[in-house]
Structure formats: C-alpha cells, structure tokens
Structure 1
Amino acid sequence: MLDWASWILGMFYLYGHLIGVSNFEFDWRTGRVFKAKRSTLYAIAINFVIIISCTYHWTRRTNMMVVIFGKANKLHEYVIVIMTGLRIAAGLVTLVSRWQWRCEMMDLTRKVIRVFIARPQVKRMSRWKILTKFLTGALTDLLQVLITLDAMGRVDSEFYLGMGLQYWMLAILNLSISQHYLIMLFVRTQYQLLNADLRRVIEETKELSRNPPGQGTFITRCCSLADQLEDIAKLQNQLQSIVNQLEDIFGLQGVMVYGGYYLSSVSTVYMAYSILIHGYEDMQMTVFTMILNLFWCFFYYLNGMLNLFIMLYVLDDHGEMIKLLEERTIFAPGLDVRLEESFERLQLQLIRNPLKIGAMQLYGVTRSSTMALFGNLITHSVVLIQYDMENY
C-alpha cells in the first residue's frame, strides 16, 4: 500500500530546500539531523539571489498598483504598498531567522523525530490533516501563480520581477507556517495518545482501589501503573519543551505572519467594498481575475486558520489532561505510596509548568484572545471604509 502521508511529508521537505527555506537535512527513519554542503551552499545561493532581487526591485521604485487595479485612489495604493512591503519583509525575516536559529531548529527537528519514532502511529492518525494542509498550501501557491500569470498580460516586463518576488515571499511564508503546523499537529496527536494512556491508567487505578487483589499482585500492578505514569510525565515534558522551543524559533516570524494575516484581512474587506462600490470593470478587473482572487483568499485564510485551530486544540488537549488528573481525588484510600506519588508529581508538573502558546510574549493564543482579534478586525475594517467614504 502506498504510504502517501510519507510522500507528502517528503514533498514538504524537498520544497523547503527548493525555495531556500531549509538549510540542513534530516532522515525520518534514523532520526539523524545534520548539515550538508550541498543544502548549505544551495540555501546560501538562493537566499543571496532573493536579497539582491529585493534590493534591485525596491530601488527601481516601480508602482505595482496596475498589477491588480487599473484605477486606484491613494488609499488603495497605501494599502497595497503596505501589504506588499510586509509580505516581502516577513519573507526576508523568515530566511534570516532560519540562519540565526539554525542550531536550535536542528535540535527541535531532532526532538520531533525522536518522539515521532517512539510512536510511529502518529503519522497514521494525522494523515488526513497532513493531506488537508498539503492541499490548502498547494492550492494557495498554485492560485498565486495563476494570478501572477494573469497580471502579466496587463503589465509591462518591468513589473515581472516585483510579481515574482511577491510570489516567492508568499511561498516562503506558506511553507514556514506549514512547518509550524506539522510540528504542532504531531504534538497534538501525541497529546491525544497520552490522554488515552492516562485515561486507561486512571480507570485501572479506580478498579484497583475498589477491588484490591492479593498483596503481591496489588503491589505489582501499582508499580506497573506508576511506571506508566512516569513515562507519561516524561513524554509530556518533552512535548511541552518542543512547544516552548517552537515558540522561541518562530516567535518573530509568528508576529509578522499573523500580523500580516490581520492587516491582509482588513485590506481584503476594504478592497471587496471598493469593488462592490466601483464595480470590477471600473477597477479594470475581469471575471476570471475576480474568481482567481476569490479562491486565493479562501485558501490563503483557510491555511492560516488551520494553524490557529491546531494551537487551540493543543491547549484543549493539555487542559483535558489536567481535568483527567483531578479524578485522582475519588480513588479509594490504600493505594501504593509510589503510585500516589506518581500521580502527584504529574499533577504538580502540569500546574507548575502551564502550557502557553503565543508569539514573543506579545500576545497569547487563546479562544478569548482570538475572538477579541476578530472583533478588532471588524472594527478596523469599518474605520478604513469610513475613511474612504469621507475622503475619496
């Protein structure tokens, strides 16, 4: 049977090297993470080309508005220029941070593969989510290529470099958030397995406390359950270490990427309003261009929402583990001291080391903060539209 999940992960791996994001190599089967001359030199060359192209493009001072809109007021120009600049800056920050955090990224990859090898069923449990991420990312990049090709029919050759750079930067950002998603997906699947193991240990402990067998069997089963709890605590600590290290490495990228998503959402609402008011013909857009942009927006934002939800799900699974441990209060007295201490140590570990997900400690990812973010998005979109109505 074709292992298509491994094939997709291999595609992510090769694509990362192709566009210059990855600068080291690893082997899923052995867990070996290493630096290689070919990948290092290729990444240096590609990154150098990107930086030189960006420098040349911005010194040319060309106006990119006609790429999409033929008739645009100053506010349209400001919005598009800000979004274009932010995407290119975020892409460059991603490339620079991959060199700055190269050793830490290799260490993180080593930890993820080690945990993955210990429980290979993680890949089978995650295969449909891996496929979903692959399809949304691939369709986002494909639609961006089609939009670029469609725009090339309406602009001069001097704009080709700028459009190519925008596509390249979006591809880099897309792959970066996909890598973040895959790591969080494996962490979430491991949490699900841990919670299943913990639930089974708790049920066995309940049964053991209510119907204790003979003395020798009782001690043996208590020791076995205590060993299982220690394994759960050890793996949970490793998973939390991965999440914390992931936040450190992707911190600045996360701020720029999700800041970009926020500003892009505001600008998308504003541009949609402009098209509805002026009509797509007055904006010199075709029906085909409208359809391409509509589908691109759908998959672009779906891609970002997948990352957001996987982080919320990890927090939920962590919270479920804490709730499961609260059931230890209903155990009948008389359990082995070592088993009681194992439960207590795991519970204290979760209390003393609460799991928090955020970006550079600027904001935390929670359901309440997400709802507040959507509320601010609506507010800022309305303010921008009102400004347009009053001044243009």
Structure 2
Amino acid sequence: MATPFSDHQILESIASDADVMHTILDLSAQRKKLNLSLVLNIVVLYTKNTIFNIGVGLYYLAELQVLGLFELIKSDLEKLIKETESVCLIRNRRGGVFATKCCFLADQLDILAERHYNLRAIVDEMTELFKIQSLSMSMVYYLSAMGTIYFTFCSIWYNNTGFDSSLWGFLLIALSIAFLIADNSISPNLGFLIQDQVREINEKLSERTLFSQELDPRLETVFENYKLQLACNPIEYNICGLFKVERDRIIGMINSAIMSSILLVQWELK
C-alpha cells in the first residue's frame, strides 16, 4: 500500500510534469520569436506555477491524512458492529455481563463519534485555510483545460509550431493532455473519497437495525446520537463560499471548458 509520502511525491511529480509539458509546448510554439525576454517570462511563470503546486501538494497531503483517519474509524466501527451483534445473542440479560459489555461498547462508540467530530472540524479548518488556493485551483484548472484544447487545435491547424506533421509533436501534446487530466482529477477526487468514506460509515451504523434483538438503551442512544451527528454535520467542500464542490458540478465545469474551447476554435476559423 502506498504511503502518504509516496502519494504526495506522485502528485508533485504529475503537477511538475504537467508544467514541464506546457513550458516545452510554449517554447516550441514561439521558437521562431524566441529571445531572452520571452524565456525569462516563461521561467517566471513556471516558477509561480511551482509555488502554486507546492500549496496544492500540502492541501492534498492534509486531505490524504484525513482520508486515512476516516478509514481507521470505519475499520474500528466494523469491529464494534461485530462485537455488538455478538452481544445481542446473549440470552441472559438480567446478569451484569450484558450490561457491562453494552456500557463498554457505548463508551467505545462515543470515542469513535468524538474522533469523527474532530476530523470534521479539521476539514472545516482546512477549507477555510485553503479557500484562496481552492479558488485559484478552480480557475487554473478551468483555464488550463480550455487553453490546452485550443492550443492543440492551433498546433495541428497551423504550420508554425511544427506539430502538425511531427510524431514527437503529437506525442508531446498527448502527454501534456494526459498530465493535465491527472493533475486536475487527483485533488478534487480525494475530497469525494472522504465523502464516500463518511457515507460508508453511516451505512455501517444503519446495520444495527438488522440485529435480531434490542440493545441496551444507552447503547441505542449512542448509535442514534452518532447518526444524528452525521446527518447534522455532513462534510462539504465549497470554493470561498461561492459554490459547493460536487461531482455533478465538476462535470459541468468540464463541459463548460470544452464548450468555451469550441467557441475559441470557431472564432479562430472565421
């Protein structure tokens, strides 16, 4: 299993490779007009992108750790559900064994709920701390997708880049698009994975309704409180309070970038 550090290196490598591909494409497209001033401008732009990618990498690493902690909560909850199911099979409930085990399980479930609440608070703090970076990421990803499609068309349509008949040129463009897609999908998808983990935790809590017998009132109350906590405090991501980050909205942004690129291509053909 990949460690958070190795996954962080993968993200930085993909983001760096995407910027390298864009830099090479820019230099190749402007090679006939290449001068010291243009090279310095591209180097400065690449440096800014590198600094931006460091911030994105830190956000990704923090989310990766949160995802791992939610995975641990889900694993501990699965074990607790199995223990609770075995306690339900105890027939003699008048003795102290049943009450003691239920109290112990209730305490353990309270601890899990507290861990979940603390992680939820961390996610809120991360969203607030990186809200400017999140807005920048959305704008950069949107404009990069639109610009890459438009640049690909211009590289094939015109002869000044040399990519229209070069196998290496087509390969370079394909690699640039591949790295762009990977760079744009890793970070948002990690937030969706965290939401999926929370959804699975909620489903695990619902399994206690399938038990053959009732639980101790205190344990039942803790289960209900945990589910109520999940219902009242769902994990949501938003961009500076402007809109929520959802899968449907990401697809809409992709469609918008493609449509904008098509408009640019149509304007170029006139």
Q: TM-score range by the shorter chain?
A: 0.7 to 0.9
Residue 315 in structure 1 maps to residue 195 in structure 2: yes
Measured in 2, the distance between the counterparts of 1:135 and 1:257 equals: 17
Contact residue 152 and residue 160 of structure 1 kept, 8 A: no
User: Across the two proteins, how many residue pairs are aligned to each other?
Assistant: 268
Residue 239 in structure 1 maps to residue 131 in structure 2: no
Partner of 1:211: 90
CA change 1:179–1:233 in 2 (3 A) is: same
Shift of 1:191: 1.1
Partner of 2:8: 130
Q: Deviations over 1:316-358 (max 9, x none)?
A: 1111112222223233444222211211111111111111112
Partner of 2:146: 266
Shift of 1:383: 1.9
3-state SS of the aligned residue for 1:244? helix
Picking from 64, 87, 91, the partner of 1:185 is 64
Mean Cα deviation higher: 298-307 or 177-186:
298-307
Residue 342 in structure 1 maps to residue 219 in structure 2: no
Residue 163 in structure 1 maps to residue 42 in structure 2: yes
Picking from 43, 67, 75, the partner of 1:196 is 75
Higher relative contact order (CA 8 A, sep 6+): 2
Q: Unpaired runs of 5+ in structure 1? A: 1-122
Partner of 1:43: none
CA change 1:343–1:125 in 2 (3 A) is: farther
Shift of 1:140: 3.6
Measured in 1, the distance between the counterparts of 2:195 and 2:110 equals: 21
Partner of 1:327: 207
Shift of 1:297: 3.8
Q: Which amino acid aligns with 2:77?
A: L
Picking from 92, 102, 110, the partner of 1:222 is 102
Residue 298 in structure 1 maps to residue 185 in structure 2: no
Q: Which amino acid aligns with 2:189?
A: F
Contact residue 280 and residue 286 of structure 1 kept, 8 A: no
Shift of 1:287: 6.4
Q: Unpaired runs of 5+ in structure 2? A: none
Contact residue 150 and residue 264 of structure 2 kept, 8 A: yes
Picking from 153, 158, 165, the partner of 1:278 is 158
Q: Deviations over 1:42-81 (max 9, x none)?
A: xxxxxxxxxxxxxxxxxxxxxxxxxxxxxxxxxxxxxxxx
Shift of 1:137: 3.4
Q: Deviations over 1:97-147 (max 9, x none)?
A: xxxxxxxxxxxxxxxxxxxxxxxxxx9754553343243234345556766
CA change 1:294–1:169 in 2 (3 A) is: farther
CA change 1:219–1:131 in 2 (3 A) is: farther
Shift of 1:153: 6.8
Equivalent positions of 1:1-392 (< 5 A) are 126=4, 129-140=7-18, 143=21, 155-212=34-91, 215-279=95-159, 281=161, 291-390=171-270
CA change 1:240–1:130 in 2 (3 A) is: same
Measured in 1, the distance between the counterparts of 2:26 and 2:226 equals: 53
RMSD after superposition: 2.9
Measured in 2, the distance between the counterparts of 1:348 and 1:231 equals: 15
Q: Which amino acid aligns with 1:202?
A: I
Measured in 2, the distance between the counterparts of 1:151 and 1:362 equals: 37
What TM-score, normalized by structure 1, do the two folds share? Answer: 0.61
Contact residue 209 and residue 331 of structure 1 kept, 8 A: yes
Shift of 1:305: 0.8
Measured in 2, the distance between the counterparts of 1:379 and 1:140 equals: 22
What TM-score, normalized by structure 2, do the two folds share? Answer: 0.86
Measured in 2, the distance between the counterparts of 1:322 and 1:353 equals: 12
Q: Deviations over 1:358-390 (max 9, x none)?
A: 211222222222222222222222222222223
3-state SS of the aligned residue for 2:224? helix
Shift of 1:245: 1.1
